[in-house]
């Protein structure tokens, strides 16, 4: 009789009952972070390649091995595979990653087949893993197992065949939000001080602490002393940090801005400060951003992360108190620039989901948020220069001096070259002299006024706003401010007994606005009297009248931006025309006209494009595409429109648009190794875009770690609009053309242009032939409907 095998104590084997208790859809920390399981055999099998290592396409299918009798049958128990992690990673990449980007996608020319040994046979019997989706999931699972220091794993096949909708939603909820979480304190500074947009990479890490926060100054100086390797420079800002000349003086010494903190127990009987966590957009955007955070918060609320969303509001309240506005981003070069205002809706949505066990605490929290929003409204959005007193329209019009410093070094070269040549200087010499004021160029001042306004609008960049943004009363800003006015009025009436005292002292903007009223230097102070709902409802009514007068175009059934200098509508057709539906300032008739007459202008296969092709105009070498123009689609436009349509009773239209966008996201996720990008070309259904800054969120190795903030949110919010039937169809990658029928396509939107290739493999070959670089890749459009590869 053979001697018994002696195993180390505590060793666990495949097939033990405890293994059955591991949830198949568990997060990686649970799935790979627990007990390690072993085979009972004396050897441990590794994955094997089937067929040639550099298989191409159709011509070599005869070289693939036929299914053998040792393959497990499809009716067997759920399969598990015994896998050597490092060896299988090596094999998958060597065989399948033919373009060397550490991803398995439809653009790779590998054989798309790999055999894995099954657990029930101790690795002797094998089963083929086939197709892009299963192989990319395999690579992702192996990378996650490596993260948890696993050398060998027992992997459930269900992890590889997981419904893609469930998988992506699970990854967003359990992994992506966590990876995008930051804190500005001793534990989080090492990550967040690094500015990915830093041109030189040689600038010392620096944090700017607002005036009036001595405890925060002491805290960060202590951290700098305790962690000398950070090389952290702690600076204190003056009382008015948004002064444009002061902001310009920081261009050579940029840094992160301090945000809200809580006082907590330090574990040694004392007290210390701890940063309130928040979510960053992702990729190169490693700080707190304004309107990104609003849409991110919608996703957080869907996923039950109310406290995280609440913390982001705390940061915005802190910014208004200390920096006088909600900043474009929490870096020093954003101190004079805001972004689209969403605070009131964000605060009210969170308030409605807070734990009801302490109603008074919730009420006090909302009070702080509404007080901050009122200050921001009066001191930023209805104060000059953003307010145009003649029309009563607000504008994106931030102050600033010189060239915006956060852009790439060559971003403005084509603008600066003529001025440099006129002055007989190189571009670098001219830029330095222009920035320090020794050379004055009014034409260039005007250009950068509008450029900064475009960046404040969040729509950077688009031909809709180029060289005129600071003069435009945009329909999106008017809609947001109408919502502010209604939200503030409603909160005062419903929560604060129709009377709200303001704790901070500042000037109140005149109402109703007029040139004469704004010319009068005397202002009512915020501390003079309590706020009431009546005055805020009156402001909302006035703004709705102004919107109808200047922005609504009855003959075109669209809202347009209004040029306050040229005194006429700017007839660029933008998806922001649907924002009045979100805000509730459109009449029922205007809503009907928008949906029945104008929605078809923007609806394409992948959802809503940012603007119409006709408005964008022709693209050429001298007039390149802008990323916020046709044919690109962004999460903010989708979510605002879905909610607006639902609000006005057009739920089926909202569901159709949500289906289109989620279909585009899901097919990219399936075909491109789990990618979740910043934006899409919604006509060609591709994230491989070359407009201006390319695309964010696509540069990862083996497994996506973050997705992209507002795209993650769009997926979670979009799923809440879909029926179960629609969700199943998206998971099966059923094209909208098929799901809704071609008749509906004809009724609601134009079919994709005939030049668009509907074969993903053929298009991938076309792209690879053009150039191996991302910037020259075209767009990979999935076929109308296909099963998971």
Which residues are catalytically annotated?
460, 678
Dihedral-angle region of residue 324 (phi above 0 means left; psi in -120 to 50 means alpha; beta otherwise): left
For 353, residues 6+ apart whose C-beta sits below 8 A from its C-beta are 301, 306
Alpha-carbon distance of 273 to 188, in angstroms, equals 13
For 539, residues 6+ apart whose C-beta sits below 8 A from its C-beta are 485, 489, 511
Alpha-carbon distance of 111 to 132, in angstroms, equals 10
Q: Which residue has the tokens 């940012």?
A: 610
For 268, residues 6+ apart whose C-beta sits below 8 A from its C-beta are none
Counting every residue written for the chain, the total comes to 789
Alpha-carbon distance of 18 to 14, in angstroms, equals 9
Alpha-carbon distance of 78 to 446, in angstroms, equals 67
Dihedral-angle region of residue 543 (phi above 0 means left; psi in -120 to 50 means alpha; beta otherwise): alpha
- Residue among 388, 393, 389, 443 nearest 416 (CA): 443
Alpha-carbon distance of 231 to 618, in angstroms, equals 50
For 521, residues 6+ apart whose C-beta sits below 8 A from its C-beta are none
- Residue among 476, 489, 566, 520 nearest 384 (CA): 520
Tokens encoding 618: 């022709």
Alpha-carbon distance of 160 to 138, in angstroms, equals 6
Q: By 3-state DSSP, what share of the chain in percent is helix, strand and coil, each rounded to 5?
A: 45, 10, 45
The span from the first CA to the last CA of the chain, in angstroms, equals: 49
> What is the DSSP code string of 169-230?
HHHIIIIIHHHTEE--STTTHHHHSS-TT-SSS-SPPEEEE-TT-HHHHHHHHHHHHH-GGG
Are the C-beta atoms of residues 232 and 207 closer than 8 Å to each other? yes
Tokens encoding 243: 């002064």
Residue 82 backbone dihedrals phi, psi, to 5 degrees: -90, 120
DSSP, collapsed to helix, strand or coil, labels residue 781 as coil
Distances (CA, A) of 730 to 42, 422, 511, 663, 671: 45, 57, 50, 5, 14
Tokens encoding 572: 């660029």
Alpha-carbon distance of 373 to 502, in angstroms, equals 11
Alpha-carbon distance of 492 to 499, in angstroms, equals 6
Distances (CA, A) of 550 to 475, 486, 615, 679: 9, 20, 19, 31
Surface-to-core class of residue 415, CB atoms within 10 Å of its CB (0-12 exposed, 13-18 middle, 19+ buried): middle
Q: What is the DSSP secondary structure assignment for residue 282, as one 8-state letter?
A: B
Strand 80-84 to 393-394 pairing:
unpaired
Axis crossing angle, helix 651-671 with helix 164-171, rounded to the nearest 10: 90
Alpha-carbon distance of 21 to 294, in angstroms, equals 39
Q: How many CA atoms lie within 13 A of 701 on its CB side?
A: 6
Residue 80 backbone dihedrals phi, psi, to 5 degrees: -130, 150
- Taking residue 682's Cβ as centre, other Cβ atoms within 10 Å add up to 27
Tokens encoding 686: 């591709």
Q: Which residue has the tokens 């204190």?
A: 236
């Amino acid at each position: 009789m053979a001697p018994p095998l002696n195993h180390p104590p505590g060793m666990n084997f495949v097939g033990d009952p405890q293994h059955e208790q591991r949830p198949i859809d568990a997060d990686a920390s649970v799935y790979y972070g627990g007990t390690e399981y072993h085979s009972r055999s004396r050897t441990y099998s590794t994955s094997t390649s089937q067929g040639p290592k550099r298989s191409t396409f159709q011509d070599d299918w005869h070289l693939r091995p036929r299914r053998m009798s040792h393959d497990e049958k499809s009716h067997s128990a759920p399969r598990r595979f015994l896998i050597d992690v490092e060896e299988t990673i090596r094999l998958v990449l060597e065989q399948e990653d033919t373009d060397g980007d550490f991803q398995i996608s439809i653009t790779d020319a590998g054989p798309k087949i790999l055999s894995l040994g099954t657990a029930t046979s101790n690795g002797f019997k094998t089963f083929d893993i086939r197709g892009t989706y299963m192989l990319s999931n395999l690579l992702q699972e192996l990378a996650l197992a490596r993260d948890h220091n696993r050398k060998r794993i027992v992997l459930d096949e269900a992890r590889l065949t997981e419904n893609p909708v469930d998988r992506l939603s699970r990854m967003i909820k359990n992994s992506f939000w966590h990876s995008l979480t930051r804190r500005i304190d001793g534990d989080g500074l090492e990550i967040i001080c690094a500015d990915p947009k830093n041109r030189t990479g040689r600038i010392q890490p620096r944090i700017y602490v607002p005036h009036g926060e001595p405890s925060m100054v002491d805290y960060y100086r202590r951290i700098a002393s305790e962690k000398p390797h950070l090389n952290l420079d702690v600076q204190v800002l003056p009382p008015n940090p948004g002064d444009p000349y002061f902001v310009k003086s920081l261009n050579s010494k940029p840094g992160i801005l301090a945000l809200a903190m809580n006082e907590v127990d330090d574990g040694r009987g004392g007290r210390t400060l701890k940063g309130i966590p928040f979510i960053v957009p992702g990729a190169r955007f490693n700080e707190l951003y304004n309107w990104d955070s609003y849409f991110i918060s919608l996703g957080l609320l869907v996923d039950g992360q109310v406290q995280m969303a609440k913390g982001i509001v705390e940061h915005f309240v802190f910014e208004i108190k200390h920096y006088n506005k909600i900043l474009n981003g929490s870096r020093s070069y954003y101190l004079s620039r805001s972004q689209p205002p969403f605070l009131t809706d964000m605060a009210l949505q969170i308030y409605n989901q807070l734990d009801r066990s302490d109603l008074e605490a919730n009420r006090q929290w909302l009070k702080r948020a509404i007080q901050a929003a009122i200050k921001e409204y009066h001191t930023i959005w209805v104060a000059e220069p953003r307010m145009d007193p003649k029309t009563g329209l607000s504008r994106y019009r931030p102050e600033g001096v010189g060239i915006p410093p956060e852009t790439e070094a060559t971003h403005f070269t084509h603008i600066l070259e003529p001025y440099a040549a006129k002055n007989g200087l190189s571009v670098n010499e001219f830029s330095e002299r222009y920035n320090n004021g020794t050379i004055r160029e009014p034409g260039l001042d005007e250009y950068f006024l509008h450029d900064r306004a475009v960046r404040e609008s969040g729509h950077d960049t688009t031909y809709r706003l180029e060289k005129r943004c600071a003069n435009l009363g945009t329909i999106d800003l008017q809609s947001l401010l109408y919502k502010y006015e209604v939200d503030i009025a409603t909160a005062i009436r419903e929560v604060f007994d129709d009377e709200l005292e303001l704790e901070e002292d500042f000037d109140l903007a005149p109402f109703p606005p007029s040139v004469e009223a704004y010319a009068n230097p005397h202002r009512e102070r915020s501390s003079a009297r309590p706020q009431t709902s009546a005055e805020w409802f009156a402001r909302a009514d006035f703004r709705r009248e102004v919107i109808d007068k200047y922005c609504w175009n009855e003959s075109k059934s669209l809202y347009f931006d209004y040029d306050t200098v040229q005194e006429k509508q700017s007839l660029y057709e933008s998806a922001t025309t649907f924002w009045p539906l979100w805000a509730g300032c459109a009449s029922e008739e205007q809503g009907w006209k928008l949906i029945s007459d104008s929605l078809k202008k923007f609806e394409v296969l992948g959802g809503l494009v940012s603007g119409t092709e006709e408005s964008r105009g022709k693209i050429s070498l001298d007039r390149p595409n802008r990323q916020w123009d046709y044919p690109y689609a962004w999460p903010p436009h989708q979510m605002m429109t879905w909610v607006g349509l639902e609000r006005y009773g057009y739920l089926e239209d909202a569901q159709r648009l949500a289906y289109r966008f989620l279909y585009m996201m899901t097919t990219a996720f399936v075909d491109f190794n789990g990618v979740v990008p910043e934006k899409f070309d919604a006509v060609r259904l591709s994230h491989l875009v070359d407009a201006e800054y390319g695309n964010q969120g696509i540069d990862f190795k083996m497994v996506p770690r973050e997705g992209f903030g507002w795209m993650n949110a769009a997926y979670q919010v979009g799923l809440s609009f879909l029926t179960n039937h629609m969700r199943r169809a998206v998971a099966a990658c059923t094209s909208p053309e098929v799901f809704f029928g071609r008749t509906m396509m004809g009724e609601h939107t134009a079919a994709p242009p005939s030049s668009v290739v509907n074969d993903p493999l053929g298009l991938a070959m076309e792209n690879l032939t053009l150039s191996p670089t991302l910037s020259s890749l075209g767009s990979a459009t999935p076929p109308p409907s296909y099963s998971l590869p």
